[in-house]
Amino acid sequence: MNNIDFIRLQGLAQNKREFIDIFEQVQRFLKQFVVFKSEDEPVVLTNYIVHTYLFKLFEFTPYIHIYSATKQCGKSLLMGILKELSCKGEMVISISEAIFRYIHKEQPTIVLDEVDRWDKESKQQVYGILNSGYQSKGGEVMRMTGKSHEPTKFITYCPKILGGIDRNSLPDTLQDRSISIELTRKTSDEPVMRYRFRKEISNYEAISLMLEPLQEYELGSDPDNEKHLFDEAHQNALLDCYEDSFESDRAVDIAEPLIVVASLGTSDWLEKSVIACRNLTVREDEEDSNLDLELLRVCNEIRMLNFNSSKAIFSADLVDTIQKQKDSELAYLNNGFGIDQPFLARRLKVFGIKPKTVRIGSETKRGYEWNQFVEPAKRFLSSFTEEEITEDLSAIDTSEVEQAEMF
């Protein structure tokens, strides 16, 4: 995978026997009962479970968002298993703002099911708590307490697992803090064991005996201190190996704790974990954003080729020119028919670029001035350089456009 330094990454694996055994046991248990869409999901969830016992050592704790298109896809089953395996797991369905008091007191792993059924009042009460609670610094809410109404801070930082029908049941701010796990109904050729809690109690107890001692570990690098697990230098060395392969800083933030946890096992497990985190932190709206950026990039290249010959371009001509850029995915959208003018206007609007009436020669039509693209390109395209501005924008004669808009 691009931008991942696997050679350096291998050298950072700690190969701790204790953690190797935990990863093997937890992943095996998850895969017995749940059909996952890929191998990435059980890898990420295994690291997540272990991280719930160590989350106080990290700056961030990612949320897990488990969703499906319909019922009977194993969502509640998986959430129940995660609740049993996670540190101080607590299942919550009927939620109120008072949950911040419980989080402050226990710092548990909160498992919130049926988020798609929350009413408007519940959402207003809880979203602020959830938005603040993924970051250790600032993961607090302020409330008035006591007869004197003394302002008091309550900790909201703790691991949280959210579940519901439809990915968009969570607002964008929470999706941004979450690693999404999509479940689908299993087919007849995807056999899994039938789950019965009473039959698995002994297995839960055995795994818990492996996990619970992890709470005693501390951040540090003293080889003589058995409680020291890793230090910031180790975290930074790992980060240098993979951060450029992630699409956003937020994705790096929520993946980091899981990758650090994975580094306590084998190099093979660490590599799988980095790839899994990378794959599962790519959001669909980020893919849309990438398409917007691709459109801006192509338009800016066309601008550079035509800037000195014309100060504007008609919408129809810009669409036709984009269609000829066969090295861009834009030319192959819509089953090979490419883009049209409404698509162009809708996507460029993201960057504040809107069509207007422009005059080129004796013709007046809807189109774009080339100087509309300069500032967005400068802000959003990493390949943009100041040298690309071949003419002082203040010197551009817009009188023709102004005259056109008067008619």
Q: Quick one: pLDDT at residue 303? A: 93
Q: Which residue has the higher pLDDT, 29 or 71?
A: 29
CA separation for the pair 349, 356 (Å, rounded): 12
Which residue's structure tokens are 């694996």? 13
Assess whether 19 and 164 both reside in one domain: yes
The 8-class DSSP code of residue 329 comes to G
Same domain, yes or no, for 322 and 369? yes
135: left (phi over 0), alpha (psi -120 to 50) or beta: beta
Residue 265's Cβ-count burial label (10 Å; 0-12, 13-18, 19+) is buried
Count CA within 13 A, CB hemisphere, residue 45.
Answer: 26
Any domain includes 100:
yes
pLDDT bucket at 284, cuts 50 / 70 / 90: low
Cα dihedral 45, 50, 53, 56 in deg (nearest 10)? -80
pLDDT on residue 394? 42
Give the domain-ending residue among 282, 303, 323.
282
Q: Is residue 1 part of a domain?
A: no
Which stretch of 249-258, 269-278, 282-291 has the lowest confidence by average pLDDT?
282-291
Radius of gyration of the chain (CA): 26
Same-domain pairing of 155 and 45: yes
Asked whether residue 237 falls in the same domain as residue 333, the answer is no
Q: Is residue 335 part of a domain?
A: yes
Q: What is the largest CA-CA distance in the chain?
A: 84
Cα–Cα dist 53/211, whole Å? 7
Q: Which of 264, 282, 300 is the last residue of a domain?
A: 282
Q: Which domain holds residue 236?
A: 6-282
The pLDDT of residue 385: 54
d(CA 128, CA 93): 18
Q: Domain check: are 36 and 154 in the same one?
A: yes
Distance, CA of 29 to CA of 194 (rounded, Å): 12
The predicted structure's pLDDT at residue 62: 94
What is the mean pLDDT of the segment spanning 372-383? Answer: 86
Same domain? For 92 and 124 the reply is yes
DSSP annotation of 328: S
Q: Which two tokens stand for residue 366?
A: 């809807």
- In DSSP terms, 179 is beta-bridged to 64
pTM value is 0.72
* Number of compact structural domains in the chain: 2
Q: What is the pLDDT of residue 401?
A: 42
Q: Are residues 58 and 73 in the same domain?
A: yes
Distance CA 405, CA 407 (A): 5
Burial 185-214 (b: 16+ CB within 10 A, else e): eeeeeeeeeeeeeeebeeeeeebeeebeeb
Same domain, 334 and 376: yes
Q: How far apart are CA 106 and CA 56, in angstroms?
A: 12
* 300 and 387 within one domain: yes
3-class DSSP assignment, residue 214: helix
Q: Which residue among 282, 299, 326 closes a domain? A: 282
Which range is least confidently modeled, 148-157, 199-208, 235-244? Answer: 148-157
> In whole angstroms, what separates CA 247 from the centre of its chain?
9
d(CA 58, CA 253): 10
Higher-pLDDT residue of 307 and 82 is 82
Q: Tell me how far apart the alpha carbons of residues 231 and 223 are, in angstroms, rounded to a whole number.
A: 11
Model pLDDT, residue 395:
41
Q: Which pLDDT does position 391 carry in this prediction?
A: 44
Say which residue the tokens 């949950």 belong to.
Answer: 99
Compute CA 110 distance to the chain's CA centroid, rounded to the nearest angstrom.
19
Distance linking the first and last C-alpha atoms of the chain: 55
63-68 and 178-183: which strand pairing? parallel
Q: Is the pLDDT of residue 315 over 90?
A: yes
Q: Is the pLDDT of residue 16 over 50?
A: yes
Query: In this structure, are strands 150-155 and 140-145 parallel, antiparallel, or unpaired?
Result: antiparallel
Do 247 and 194 reside in the same domain of the chain?
yes
In terms of domains, do 347 and 205 share one? no
- Burial (CB count <10 Å: 0-12, 13-18, 19+), residue 224: exposed
Q: Is residue 130 part of a domain?
A: yes
